[in-house]
C-alpha cells in the first residue's frame, strides 16, 4: 500500500496530523490498493485520504484534507475467506458477427505453397477433438498459420518437449519467427494441426495431447500428417516472455468481439506477485479472454512479478514502467506514481504510435473478477460507439449493496467515474485524456476523472450487481488493512449468459424511464436508526412502486449511513439522482434538490434571486468578500459555485481543474509553493464555509445582495 512521506498543512498555517479516516473510505481510492510502498511510519494514505495518520513534513500541498466519515452497517457480508469465483461452466453468447453462419470456405492454397507443404489442406474440415487453442496474435494468411504451427512443432521437438506452461488456462508458449522477419509468440503445445479462420484472421492450433472437448473452428482446416510425440511440460521463465516480439497490427474496425477492433486487458501491478497470479488465473478463466490481448503493466521492477507473469502464456507482454524512489515532495508520492503508471499504461496500449488497440480494460491486481466480467465489457462496448453521452464501462457499482442490487442482468448509467476494472476507447485517450493527463492530481487520478472538465457531462455504464471487488491477500503483502467494507458489497459469483437488449441505456430512453419513476412517487423519510431493524430493514421492506427522498449534499450522510449506502458522498448518481431497487420491486429515489431535473418544483432548490458570483481577495474569506461588496455570505449557497465551469469563468486555471478537500474551496491556487499551483480546486467531499480562508488560494464566493 502506498505510503507517501509528504504531508499537507492546515489552511491557517499550523501543522497538525490528520485524524484517522474510517477504513471504508478506502473504497474511494481504488488505485491506492495497487502497490506496496513501506516507510518507517507505516501509515497508509488512500486516494480519498483513507484511514491514515499522515506525518508532518515541511512541504505544503494546499488546502487541507478535511476529516470525512463513513460507516460500515450491518448488511450481510460476504465470507471474508471466500475463494475467487469459479469460471462460467457454459460458453456465453458471442457477438452477432461471430454467431452468424460461416461463409463458404475459400479454395485450398496452391500445391506449391511452401509454408503449407507439410499439411494436408482440407476445406470444411474441423480438427479432431482435442486441445485446440487460438493464437492470440492471429495470422494474416493461411500460409502464416502454417508457418506458426510448423515453427512451434520444430521448437517443441528441439526443446525435448519442454515449453512454458500456464497452469490456469493450460496454454503453452514459445516464439515463432515468420519469413518476413516478424517474431511473435505462439500458443498451444507441440502443433499437430491447425485451423485458419480467414474471416477473422484467427489461427487455431491443435496440440499433441488432451482428448477432451474443446472449441472447434473449421472454415479452412489443415491437419498435420504425422503427429509429433512427447508431452509438453515445464515452467515459464522471464526469458521466454522477453523472447516474444511486438504484436502485429490490430484487426480492422468492427472485426472483434463487441464490435471492438482489437481490445486489450491490462493488469496493473507493483510488486505483489501473489495478487497478480490470482488475477491472471481469473482473467484467463473468462470464456471471452481469447478475444483480448492481455498485458501486465508493472512499475515496481520486481523479478517475482515478471516470473509470475511468465507462467501465463496468454500474457502478450509485460510492460515495465520505472516509478522512481519515494520522497517528501508530491512528485515522489504514491499519488503521483499511480497517476504516472496509469498514464504510461494507457499510452502503451491505446497510443497511436504504440500498440494502438481500439479499447482497453484496466484491472487492479487485487480485484476479484466475476465469471462474466469480460462479457460485460463486450456487451456494453457498442454503446460507446453509438451513444456520445457515454465514455466508459466499469465493472464496479459504488452503491452495489445486496439490499439494493438485486438484478444481475441490469446495467446502469452513472456520471461518477467508478474505476475498479474499467474500459475506454482509444479515441478518448488520444484525443482527450492524453493531452491533459494530470501530473499533480493530489487526491488521485480517479478524482480527476470525475471532474466535469474531464467527463464533459458523459457517463459510464456499470452493472447493478458488481462484477469486481477488492480482495486483498494475507498480511505481509496486503493492501487493505480491513476488508470488511468490501465484504458489504454484492458480488456476482455465477455470471449471466447474456445481458439482453441494452437499448434502454441510451440517454433518451434511460431518462424517460427515470422520469416515469418520479411520476406519482410517494415522498418518504426513513428512520434514523441503523441495522436490519432500522433504516436498512425499512428500505428492504418498502412495497412495490416509487418512493422519493429529496436531499441536499450536506444532508446526504445523515441518510446514507442508516440506509447502508456509500456514505462519504453521493456516488453512482445520474443527474443528481440515485435509483435503488429492492427485491420487493420498490424503486427508491434519492434526488439532490440542487441537481435532479425530475423533482417537483416544490422540492427543488435553485440559486436565490440577488445571488452573484464574487472573487475574494487572495487569502480572504467569502464572509469578508461578500461584506466588502455590500452583500452577505450564506454557507449553503456556496455550493452553487463548487464547479469547474464556475471557476473557469473567473480564473485562468492554467493547470486545469483539480479535486481537493478543505472548507475554503472552491478556490484558485495562486501560490507557487503549492503542489496544486494554478489549479482551480473543487471538492465532492468537503463543505464550504463562509469564514474559511487560506493564504495561498483565492476563493470563489456566491454572495447575496
CA 172 – CA 163 distance, rounded (Å): 6
Q: Enumerate residues 6+ apart whose C-beta is below 8 A from 362.
A: 266, 268, 342, 345, 346, 421, 422, 423
Give the pLDDT of residue 91. Answer: 36
User: Residue 193's CB: how many other CB atoms inside 10 A?
Assistant: 24
**Cell numbers linked to 149:** 504451427
- Decide: 552 and 640 in contact? Cβ < 8 Å: no
Tell which wins on pLDDT, 294 or 197: 294
Grid coordinates representing 173 are 508458449
Closest CA to 564 of 464, 488, 472, 657: 488
* Section 687-699 average pLDDT: 97
pLDDT score, position 191: 67
Instruction: For strands 422-425 and 367-369, give the pairing.
Output: unpaired
3-state secondary structure 575-607: CCEEEEECCCCEEEEEEECCCCCCCCHHHCCCC
- Please name which of 224, 214, 213 lies closest in space to residue 190, comparing C-alpha atoms: 224
215, 132 contact by CB (below 8 A):
yes
In three state form, how does the secondary structure of 207-250 look? CCCCCCCCCCCCCEEEEECCCCCCCCECCCCHHHHHHCCCCCCC
350 confidence band (pLDDT: 50, 70, 90)? very high
Prior bond of 688 cis (ω within 30°): no
Residue carrying C-alpha cell 509429433: 228
Instruction: List the single range of 117-126, 406-415, 481-490, 603-612 with lowest mean pLDDT.
Output: 117-126
The whole-number average pLDDT for the span 155-181 is 39
With bands split at pLDDT 50, 70 and 90, how would you rate the model's confidence at 656? Answer: very high
Among 22-36, 107-121, 131-145, 545-559, top mean pLDDT goes to 545-559
pLDDT band at 471 (very low <50, low <70, confident <90, very high): confident
Q: Which residue has the higher pLDDT, 447 or 6?
A: 447
Query: Tell me, what's the pLDDT at 251?
Result: 38
Q: In the predicted model, what is the mean pLDDT of residues 492-521?
A: 95
For 214, counting Cβ atoms within 10 Å of its Cβ (0-12 exposed, 13-18 middle, 19+ buried), the class is middle
Cell of 130: 482435442
Average pLDDT score over residue span 236-261: 46
Res. 679 pLDDT band, cuts 50 70 90: very high
Query: How confident is the model at residue 142, as a pLDDT?
Result: 73
Q: Which strands make up the sheet holding 119-123, listed edge to edge?
A: 119-123, 220-224, 193-197, 202-206, 132-135
**pLDDT above 70 for 9:** no
In Å, how far from its chain's centre is CA 180? 38
Q: 325 falls in which pLDDT band (50, 70, 90)?
A: low
pLDDT of residue 199 exceeding 60, the answer is no
Q: What whole-number distance in Å separates Cα of residue 20 and Cα of residue 41? A: 14
Q: Let me know: does 238 contact 312? Beta carbons within 8 Å.
A: no
Separation CA 143–CA 220 (nearest Å): 12
Give the best-scoring range by mean pLDDT among 141-150, 333-342, 613-622.
613-622
Collapse the DSSP code of 580 into the 3-class scheme (helix H, G, I; strand E, B; otherwise coil) and give the result: strand
CA torsion 318-322-327-328 (nearest 10°) is -90
Q: What is the mean pLDDT of residues 267-295?
A: 94
Give the whole-number percent of the chain exceeding pLDDT 70: 63
Distance (Å, whole) CA 435 – CA 374:
29
What tens digit of pLDDT does each residue of 16-65 get? Answer: 333 333 333 333 444 433 333 333 333 322 333 333 322 332 333 333 33
C-alpha cell at 318: 509485460
The residue-averaged pLDDT of 404-420 equals 96
For residues 655-680, average pLDDT:
96
pLDDT reported for residue 551: 96
Nearest to 318 by CA among 285, 276, 356, 260: 276
Q: Is 330 helix (H, G, I), strand (E, B) or coil?
A: helix
Averaged over 687-703, what is the pLDDT?
A: 97
pLDDT by residue (tens digit) across 218-238?
434 555 433 333 222 222 222
Q: Taking Cα atoms as reference points, which of 320, 400, 322, 394 lies closest to residue 362?
A: 394
Residue range 483-504: average pLDDT? Answer: 88
The tens digit of pLDDT for each residue in 82-102 reads 444 333 333 343 333 333 444
Q: CA 684: distance to chain centroid?
A: 20
Q: Which residue has the cell 497452469?
A: 167
Q: pLDDT value at position 333?
A: 83
Q: How confident is the model at residue 176 (pLDDT cuts 50, 70, 90)?
A: very low
- Per mean pLDDT, which of 106-115, 223-232, 359-368 is the most reliable? 359-368
Which of 52, 1, 43, 3 is closest to 23 using CA atoms? 52
Interval 162-180 mean pLDDT: 34
Q: Does 208 have pLDDT greater than 60? A: no
Q: Tell me the average pLDDT across 564-576.
A: 93
Q: Given this model, what pLDDT does residue 158 score? A: 55
Instruction: Yes or no: say if 612 and 435 are a contact pair by the CB < 8 Å rule.
Output: no
Q: Is the pTM of this model over 0.75?
A: no
Percent of the chain at pLDDT above 90? 55
* Least confident window among 252-261, 365-374, 560-569, 676-685: 252-261
**Does residue 665 surpass a pLDDT of 90?**
yes
Sheet order of strands, 315-320 included: 315-320, 293-298, 263-269, 359-364, 422-425, 390-394, 459-463, 411-414
Which pLDDT band, with edges at 50, 70 and 90, does 156 fall under? low
Q: Could you tell me the pLDDT band of residue 571, with boundaries at 50, 70 and 90?
A: very high
Please give the mean pLDDT across all residues of the chain. 74
Amino acid at each position: 500500500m502506498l505510503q507517501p512521506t509528504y504531508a499537507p498543512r492546515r489552511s491557517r498555517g499550523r501543522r497538525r496530523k490528520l485524524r484517522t479516516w474510517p477504513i471504508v473510505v478506502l473504497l474511494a481510492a481504488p488505485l491506492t490498493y495497487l502497490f506496496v510502498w513501506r516507510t518507517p511510519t507505516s501509515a497508509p494514505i488512500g486516494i480519498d485520504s483513507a484511514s491514515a495518520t499522515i506525518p508532518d513534513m515541511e512541504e505544503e500541498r494546499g488546502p487541507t484534507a478535511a476529516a470525512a466519515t463513513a460507516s460500515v452497517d450491518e448488511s450481510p457480508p460476504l465470507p471474508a475467506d471466500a475463494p475467487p469465483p469459479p469460471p462460467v461452466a457454459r460458453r456465453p453468447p458471442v457477438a452477432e458477427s461471430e454467431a452468424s453462419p460461416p461463409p463458404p470456405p475459400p479454395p485450398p492454397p496452391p500445391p506449391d505453397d511452401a509454408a503449407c507443404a507439410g499439411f494436408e489442406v482440407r476445406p470444411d474440415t474441423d480438427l479432431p477433438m482435442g486441445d485446440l487453442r487460438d493464437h492470440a496474435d492471429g495470422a494474416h494468411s493461411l500460409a502464416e498459420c502454417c508457418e506458426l504451427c510448423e515453427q512451434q512443432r520444430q521448437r517443441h521437438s528441439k526443446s525435448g518437449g519442454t515449453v512454458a506452461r500456464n497452469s490456469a488456462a493450460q496454454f503453452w508458449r514459445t516464439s515463432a519467427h515468420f519469413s518476413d522477419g516478424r517474431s511473435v509468440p505462439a500458443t498451444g503445445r507441440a502443433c499437430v494441426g491447425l485451423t485458419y479462420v480467414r474471416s477473422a484472421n484467427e489461427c487455431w492450433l491443435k496440440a499433441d495431447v488432451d482428448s477432451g472437448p474443446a472449441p472447434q473452428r473449421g472454415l479452412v482446416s489443415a491437419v498435420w500428417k504425422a503427429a509429433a510425440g512427447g508431452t509438453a511440460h515445464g515452467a515459464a521463465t522471464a526469458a521466454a516472455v522477453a523472447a516474444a516480439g511486438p504484436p502485429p497490427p490490430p484487426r480492422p474496425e468492427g472485426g472483434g468481439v463487441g464490435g471492438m477492433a482489437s481490445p486489450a486487458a491490462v493488469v496493473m501491478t507493483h510488486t505483489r506477485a501473489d495478487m497478480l497470479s490470482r488475477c491472471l488465473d481469473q482473467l484467463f478463466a473468462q470464456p471471452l479472454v481469447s478475444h483480448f490481448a492481455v498485458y501486465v503493466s508493472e512499475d515496481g521492477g520486481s523479478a517475482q512479478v515478471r516470473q509470475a507473469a511468465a507462467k501465463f502464456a496468454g500474457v502478450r507482454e509485460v510492460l515495465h514502467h520505472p516509478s522512481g524512489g519515494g520522497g517528501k515532495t508530491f512528485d515522489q508520492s504514491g499519488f503521483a506514481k499511480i497517476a504516472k503508471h496509469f498514464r504510461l499504461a494507457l499510452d502503451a496500449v491505446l497510443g497511436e504510435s504504440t500498440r494502438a488497440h481500439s479499447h482497453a480494460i484496466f484491472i487492479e491486481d487485487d480485484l476479484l473478477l466475476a465469471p462474466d466480467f469480460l462479457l460485460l465489457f463486450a456487451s456494453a462496448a457498442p454503446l460507446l460507439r453509438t451513444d456520445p453521452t457515454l465514455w466508459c464501462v466499469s465493472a464496479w457499482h459504488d452503491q452495489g449493496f445486496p439490499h439494493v442490487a438485486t438484478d444481475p442482468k441490469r446495467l446502469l448509467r452513472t456520471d461518477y467515474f467508478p474505476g475498479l476494472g474499467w474500459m475506454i476507447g482509444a479515441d478518448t485517450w488520444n484525443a482527450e485524456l492524453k493531452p491533459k493527463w494530470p501530473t499533480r492530481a493530489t487526491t488521485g487520478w480517479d478524482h480527476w476523472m470525475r471532474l466535469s472538465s474531464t467527463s464533459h457531462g458523459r457517463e459510464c455504464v456499470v452493472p447493478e450487481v458488481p462484477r469486481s471487488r477488492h480482495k486483498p491477500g494475507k498480511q505481509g503483502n496486503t493492501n487493505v488493512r480491513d476488508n470488511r467494507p468490501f465484504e458489504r458489497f454484492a458480488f456476482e459469483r455465477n455470471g449471466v449468459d447474456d445481458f439482453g437488449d441494452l437499448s434502454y441505456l441510451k440517454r433518451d430512453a434511460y431518462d424517460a424511464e427515470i422520469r416515469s419513476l418520479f411520476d406519482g412517487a410517494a415522498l418518504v423519510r426513513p428512520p434514523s436508526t441503523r441495522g436490519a431493524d432500522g433504516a436498512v430493514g425499512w428500505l428492504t421492506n418498502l412495497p412495490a412502486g416509487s418512493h422519493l427522498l429529496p436531499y441536499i449534499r450536506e444532508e446526504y450522510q445523515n441518510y446514507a449511513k442508516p440506509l447502508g449506502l456509500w456514505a462519504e458522498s453521493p456516488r453512482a448518481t445520474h443527474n443528481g439522482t440515485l435509483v435503488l431497487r429492492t427485491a420487493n420491486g420498490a424503486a427508491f429515489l434519492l434526488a439532490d434538490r440542487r441537481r435532479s431535473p425530475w423533482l417537483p418544483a416544490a422540492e427543488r432548490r435553485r440559486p436565490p434571486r440577488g445571488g452573484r458570483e464574487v472573487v475574494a481577495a487572495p487569502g480572504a474569506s467569502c464572509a469578508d468578500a461578500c461584506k466588502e461588496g455590500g452583500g452577505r455570505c450564506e454557507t449553503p449557497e456556496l455550493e452553487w459555485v463548487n464547479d469547474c465551469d464556475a471557476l473557469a469563468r473567473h480564473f485562468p486555471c492554467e493547470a486545469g481543474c483539480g479535486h481537493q478537500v478543505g472548507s475554503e474551496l472552491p478556490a484558485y491556487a495562486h501560490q507557487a509553493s503549492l503542489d496544486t499551483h494554478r489549479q482551480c480546486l473543487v471538492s465532492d467531499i468537503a463543505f464550504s464555509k463562509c469564514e474559511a480562508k487560506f493564504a495561498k488560494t483565492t476563493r470563489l464566493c456566491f454572495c447575496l445582495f
